[in-house]
Amino acid sequence: MSAQPVLANPAASPGRKRRRQNSDGLPAALPWIGPVLLLIFAIVIFPAGFMIYNSTREISQSGIDQGSAGFANFADVFTDPNLPRVLLNTVVWVVVVVSLTVLISLALAQFLNKPFPGRTLVRMAVVVPWAASVVMTTTVFYYGLDSNYGIMNAFLVDIGILDSPYGFTKNVIPALGLAIIVAVFVSIPFTAYTLLAGLQAVPEDALEAAKMDGAGRFRTYFSIVLPQLRGALAVAVLINIINVFNNLPILRIITGSIPGYQADTLMTYIFKVLQFDRRVDIASALSVLNFAIVIVIVAAYVKIVKPMKEL
């Protein structure tokens, strides 16, 4: 009978060694990852948990907790007659801003990737809307188009586009349109630079091979360049969806003077419920709904598009 091989030291087997290293590594890593975990708990987990807790409480306008409300706050939210219009505005806001931002950024990134005199200065200028304060940029547009003393409004009248000053920020459709323009304006720099980084990673030999095969510019772009941009494009779209969906300053400044809720998205609606109605419980329930929608959108997007697959 042949002898069976016996390990000299069973405790030193590869599987046991890996398990021991993993168990030993966690205490050693805690001093390094501990502050990060505490920060995540302080600014993400605890506020989110407190928000969910408040959404199930009955809180007076003076901020006094009057006991459990169960799911009554959510029932009030879903039966709110303003909710359908608010959700529709949110969908239009996100889809239009993200679509325009990506399309313009694709063209701008392609332009910035070409060699031309002064390219460095142009690239630096593109960063300005991103580096400047969003509130400041939005305020410039808001007062520039004011019907009484806005310089942009006066210019449109002087060149004959308008017969008389028009209240762009006093009417729902023009106000939302202006907010979309401002949001696209401040979102383009980040998106364009993300796509520019992706363009610079496109292999030159692939472009040369396509040129030698007789492929035209459009064929080369859609068959070679655009597929290579998949990773950068997917990440840029995802970040823009999250940022635009949760945007408050632009809409708050542009549409804040419009009465009612016809120009509101979920974020501005939550702000009004919290500031004017002083309903912390209802605002918390709306915030939970907002958070759930974002999580579902991100999860579905990551599942379908797989933005990190080719990075």
Three-state DSSP class for residue 163: coil
35, part of any domain: no
How many domains is the chain built from? 1
148, part of any domain: yes
Q: Which amino acid makes up residue 273?
A: V
Q: Is the pLDDT of residue 103 over 90?
A: yes
22, part of any domain: no
9, part of any domain: no
63, part of any domain: no
215, part of any domain: yes
- Tens digit of each residue's pLDDT (9 = 90 or more) over 227-245: 888 888 888 999 999 999 9
169, part of any domain: yes
If one compares 2 and 286, the residue with the highest pLDDT of the two is 286
Nearest CA-CA partner of 228 in 260, 210, 206, 245: 206
Q: What is the CATH number of the domain that holds 94?
A: 1.10.3720.10
- Tens digit of each residue's pLDDT (9 = 90 or more) over 117-143: 888 888 888 888 888 888 998 999 888
CB 87 within 8 A of CB 266: yes
66, part of any domain: no
Could you tell me the residue range of the domain that residue 195 belongs to? Answer: 84-265
If one compares 308 and 113, the residue with the highest pLDDT of the two is 113
CA atoms within 13 A on the CB side of 114: 6
CA pair distance 119, 111, nearest whole angstrom: 9
